[in-house]
Every structure is written in C-alpha cells, then in structure tokens.
Amino acid sequence: MSAWSPDHTERRSPGPVVRSPNGVPDLVHAGMYVVDDNGLVVAVNPRAAELLRRPADGLVGRDAHELLHRDRLGQTIPRAACSMMHAFLSGRTGGGDLEWFLRGDGTLLPVTWLVTPCRLDGTATGALVLFHECAPESGVVADGASPALSQLDRLALLAETTTRLSSTLDAEETVARLVRLVVPRLADWAVVDLITESDDVWRTMVVTHRDGVVVRREELEGPLPPVHEESLMPLSRALRGAASTLVGPETYQGPADSGITVAQQKLFEETGLRSAAIAPIRGPRAVLGALTLGLSERPGAFTEAELSLLDDIARRAGLALENARLYQRQRHIAETMQRHLLPQMPEVPGLRMAARYESASKSSQVGGDWYDAFSLADGSTAVAVGDVVGHNIDAAAGMAQVRNMLRAYAWALKEPPSAIVERLDQAVVNVTEASMATLIFGRVERSDDAWALRWTNAGHPPPLLITHDGRSRFLDEEHDHLLGTGLTRARTDTLTPLPPRSTLVLYTDGLIESPGHTLDRGLARLRQHAAALVHRPLHVFCDLLLERARPVDNDDDVALLVFRMPAEDGEARDR
C-alpha cells in the first residue's frame, strides 16, 4: 500500500496512534482514509472500516464521493454541491461540522471531518480524510433507527415521490421506483402487494438492501391467497382499504385466520422483521394493494410519525399506479384492435408474400401504421401500406376507417390506383375521422409469365425493388400529395415491371426514420441491408431486415409488406 505524508504541519492526533497493517495510523476515536488525486480510496485505517461498517477491501479502489457522501436523506450529492469535494479540489485543508456517510448496512453516519492534501509515493498527490462520529441534528437517529424526519425533509421526500412516480406510465417501473424511494432511506425492507385486474392478490415486489444497494428477493414474491373478508389481521384489512397499522412479530404469533395470514407469518420468519408498518395503496376508484415497510437490522421501531408519512407515500403510489394501469389498458385495447385489423395474406399462385407489424420499442403509444393485400375480381392482387398521422387510439381508429374504405373502393371500382386513391382522399377529408395519411396503393398484375406493379404514391416513402442478383433501386418516379390535405391536384400511376425472383419491399417510415440521422441515411441503410439479404427465404428476410435496418433510436411503429416474384419456367425456385 502507498505510504503518504501530510503537506502541512503535523497535528496532534485525537487519541493514541497505533500502526495498522496497511500502513495507515489507527486512531482510537477517528476514522481515516486516503484518496489519490482521482478521488479513489488507496488506504483505510481499522477505525474507518469500523465506523463505516465496511471491510477495508470494500473501500480501497472505490470512488469515495460516490460510495460515501450523502445528504441527510441518504441521497447522492452532486459533486458540485459537496463541501468535502470543494475542499479536496481546492488543494487546501478544510473541514466541516456535519456531513453524512453511507454505511455498508445502508444507514447514515453523521460525521465531523477534516480534509488535507498529502503526498503519496513518489510525486503522486492525494488527500487525507479524517472523520469521527458526531451528534446528529435533532430528530435524526445515528445508530440506524428509523429516522424521524423534519417537516421539511418529509415535504422533500413526498415531492420526490410525486415526481418520480408520475414520470412513468409503466406499472412495473412505478413499483420499482417506489421501493427504491423507501429502502434503505426509511426501512430495511419494502413489500408491495397488488390486487390484479382479476381481483387476485400478488406479492409483486419484496426488496431489502446490502451495502446500501437495493436487492430484490424474488423467492418471496408470487401469488397470495385471496383476501378473507372477515380477517382482522393487518394486511387483510389494508387490502380492504382499512387504515394503516403498526405491526410486529407478535401480531402473527397466534393461530392464522386465513391463508394470507399464513403468508405473512412466513414473510416475518424469512425476513426477520422486528417492526413493520402496513398502509393501503388506494387509487381514485378502488384499493390497488398494500405497501409494507419493515425494520430488521437497524434498532428502534416505527412510530405514528412514520405511519403518517407512509400513508402519504402510499397515497401517491396509488394515484401513479392507477394512471399507469389506465394507460396500459388503453394501449392494450388499441394494439389488440390494430393487430386484429391487420389482414391475413391471400394465397396467390406463384407469388410469395410476407408481412410484419412491430409496435414502437420505446414509445408508450400506438400509431396508425398498417398494410393490406387482397385478391381482386380481375385476378390481380391489391397491395397497400400506409400511415395515418398520430400516435394514439384515435390514429388506430382512423387507420381502420381508411383501410376498410380503400378495400371497398378497390373491389367495387375497376379504376386505376390513382383514381381509387383520389376517391379515398375525398372520403378522408369529408367522411372519416382520420386527419391526414400517407399511402402507397397498387395492383400486382400478371400477364403471361410477366409480373408488374401498377401503383400510386400519396406522400409515402418509396417502395424498394431488389433483383435476384442484388441490384436495388427505390421506386421514386412519382410522389403525390398526402391524403387529407384538401388539395385537388391530379394523381399519377406508374407501371413497374417486376423481374423474376425480384423482391418488392413496402414499408412505413418507422423503418428508416430516427432523430439520430437523416432520412437519406435511413434509406441507404435499408437499401444496403435488403440487398444483402435478398437470397434469404422471405420470412427470414423480413425478420432480419427489421432487426438490422430499423434504427436503434426508433420511436415509431413499423409496418412491412414484402413480395417475391416467381422464377421463370425452367429456373430453380428459391425456398
């Protein structure tokens, strides 16, 4: 271990000095550690390890600020706001009357401290940190008991709870954030029991902490017996919406009055809880579950003051969970409707077809992306891919209207694609609830052994055609206005031959667009990957194209429709 020497006049130590095995003086009353110029701990005396409740090898090599420095609520302090970091970076001796170190068991140690520059071996520099335990401020317990927070601290914690829980609409993430807010700050254990949509009770999350790090105990989670309506035990009452309660092991020592009480007895035995507080998690319309905080390692017990704080936290959790559930329910309805509206591919002799629809990977919303393919009375195959503007259930409903009207026009009218799309455009403006939409619509036609696509483009990304030998091009000859704009300009049709064994790719913009790069780059990426995969079987082609071409920062849905032309007579056909 590196030796060190202070850069200032030697001070009298606060007690007898004993040389520890790692070369750092062992002060009877004071802890001491040494950091290098990067703030990494390089040496620790035994008293520091004892006060911090961490082994020396668990300190050496760690960033002292990130590992130890906390505010009075146990939260990490930004380096710019840390008075110890100011002293360290200034290169001068400095001290303070009250700071907080995070112990290995998750409790907070109030300390008086001194930081002074020192030299390590050779020319290396660092700092020596000397600290000892001091009397905490009123209302804060230094020995690890559940802290009685000041009114200001309570308000700060509740504000943080509201901010963190309301910033997600994912129920599972809401629960994860909830337990991280209270462990180890308020308790050694946190248990969240939720009532599901089908009225089952599920022990959703059980967490504790080790060295200040939240640890999940999944073996204690899972389904619970139903709530017994006549049970007077605290958890059963909380799940029925009764007031919060303070409990201890003695609460569960008698005969169990229900299956859920048996589960609670097991929980207390497995966790060693000495004191617990249970509060109902209430939503605006119903009880959603219960939150249990428990003490097992730190001394002391919960009081009425902590119970009141727990009630406030649980109330905020209930509102956040209710919002998350409502949102997820709405999204599930929209996605289910959208998927059921997406069609089955028709059977067309000689023509291979495949399609994919992928919801947005990061967005919490659904959109109006869609595809369609169906046989027409004249033997041709109608094909379409489009995107109704919007990212919500209204966009999905608008998509359904546009798709169904297009089907009706295409089947009933023997008109070119441009005329059918113009009729659809008028309907979007005057009849449907969709705002605007992009669309490619066409017919795959067969004449003798030759195949062709007769198509029109209403403001949509261009189709991609890849020949069997790997050459590719975008079909961007024509590009007319979107649906729903109210414009009356004439639309155009294009006839594109489809060579034997060529592959035609229709897609929505989620496959090529992202905030991180230009549209041209997205198109080039799609073209490059499609050409490289053209010899793959069609379903493999679709899966790999989605995986490779879709931008990693994509936040939109993707609809993909792919056709592969048959080989000419006498040629080997792909599988």
- In whole angstroms, give the CA distance from residue 73 to residue 150: 10
Pair 414, 557 in one domain: yes
Q: Which long-range contacts (CB under 8 A, 24 or more apart) does 423-427 make?
A: 424/483, 425/458, 425/483, 425/484
pLDDT in tens, 409-464: 999 998 999 999 999 999 888 877 677 889 999 999 998 879 999 999 999 999 99
Q: Which residues contact 180 (CB under 8 A, 6 or more apart)?
A: 214
Residue 239 lies in domain: 151-330
**Of 5-19, 100-114, 282-296, minimum mean pLDDT range:** 5-19
How far apart, in Å, do the first and last CA atoms of the chain sit? 67
CATH number at residue 178: 3.30.450.40
- In whole angstroms, give the CA distance from residue 91 to residue 88: 6
Pair 250, 193 in one domain: yes
> Highest-confidence range of 35-44, 92-101, 296-305, by mean pLDDT?
35-44
What's 37's DSSP letter? T
Amino acid at 330: Q
Q: Sort strands 201-210 and 25-27 into parallel, antiparallel or unpaired.
A: unpaired
Count of CA atoms in the C-beta half-sphere (13 A) of 303: 9
The reply to whether 574 falls in a domain is no
Look at residues 571, 505, 568 and name the one whose alpha carbon lies nearest to residue 534: 505
State the pLDDT confidence band at 37, using cuts at 50, 70 and 90. confident
- Tally of structural domains, the chain: 3
Dihedral Cα 120, 126, 132, 133, nearest 10 deg:
-140
CA-only gyration radius of the chain, Å: 34
How far apart, in Å, are the Cα atoms of 384 and each of 365, 394, 403, 467, 484? 23, 21, 9, 21, 17
State the pLDDT confidence band at 10, using cuts at 50, 70 and 90. very low
DSSP letter for each residue of 294-327: EESSSSS---HHHHHHHHHHHHHHHHHHHHHHHH
Pair 13, 119 in one domain: yes
The reply to whether 570 falls in a domain is no
- What local confidence, expressed as pLDDT, does residue 368 receive? 78
Domain endpoint, select from 133, 160, 183: 133
Pair 504, 384 in one domain: yes
pLDDT in tens, 267-313: 999 999 999 999 999 998 899 999 999 999 887 888 887 888 899 99
How far apart, in Å, are the Cα atoms of 214 and each of 177, 205, 531? 11, 12, 48
State the pLDDT confidence band at 515, using cuts at 50, 70 and 90. confident
The reply to whether 438 falls in a domain is yes
Residues 72 and 108: beta-carbon distance below 8 Å: yes
CATH number at residue 113: 3.30.450.20
- What local confidence, expressed as pLDDT, does residue 456 receive? 96
| Burial zone of 302 (CB within 10 Å; 0-12 exposed, 13-18 middle, 19+ buried) | buried
State the pLDDT confidence band at 355, using cuts at 50, 70 and 90. very high
Average of per-residue pLDDT values in the chain: 84
The reply to whether 531 falls in a domain is yes
- What local confidence, expressed as pLDDT, does residue 316 receive? 94
Phi, psi of 449 (to 5 degrees): -105, 10
Does 489 score more than 90 pLDDT? no
pLDDT in tens, 361-416: 444 455 678 899 999 999 999 999 999 887 666 777 778 888 889 999 999 998 99
Residues 1 and 42: beta-carbon distance below 8 Å: yes
Pair 165, 296 in one domain: yes
The reply to whether 571 falls in a domain is no
Amino acid at 549: A
Domain endpoint, select from 103, 133, 163: 133
Pair 514, 445 in one domain: yes
pLDDT in tens, 471-486: 999 999 878 999 988 8
- In whole angstroms, give the CA distance from residue 456 to residue 494: 6
Q: Sort strands 450-458 and 5-6 into parallel, antiparallel or unpaired.
A: unpaired
Pair 380, 520 in one domain: yes
pLDDT in tens, 184-229: 888 999 999 999 988 899 999 999 998 778 999 999 999 999 998 8
How far apart, in Å, are the Cα atoms of 128 and each of 56, 95, 103? 16, 12, 19
Q: Determine what percent of the chain falls in helix, strand and coil, rounding each to the nearest 5.
A: 30, 30, 40
Domain endpoint, select from 276, 307, 330: 330
Pair 313, 389 in one domain: no
Pair 163, 120 in one domain: no
Does 167 score more than 70 pLDDT? yes
Structure tokens at 303: 């009081």
- What local confidence, expressed as pLDDT, does residue 149 receive? 61
Does 571 score more than 70 pLDDT? no
Pair 236, 357 in one domain: no
- In whole angstroms, give the CA distance from residue 173 to residue 444: 47
Pair 411, 488 in one domain: yes
Q: What percent of the chain has pLDDT over 90?
A: 48
DSSP letter for each residue of 233-290: SHHHHHHTTPPPEEE-GGGGSS--SSHHHHHHHHHHHHHT-SEEEEEEEE-SSSEEEE
The reply to whether 573 falls in a domain is no
Does 339 score more than 70 pLDDT? no
CATH number at residue 466: 3.60.40.10
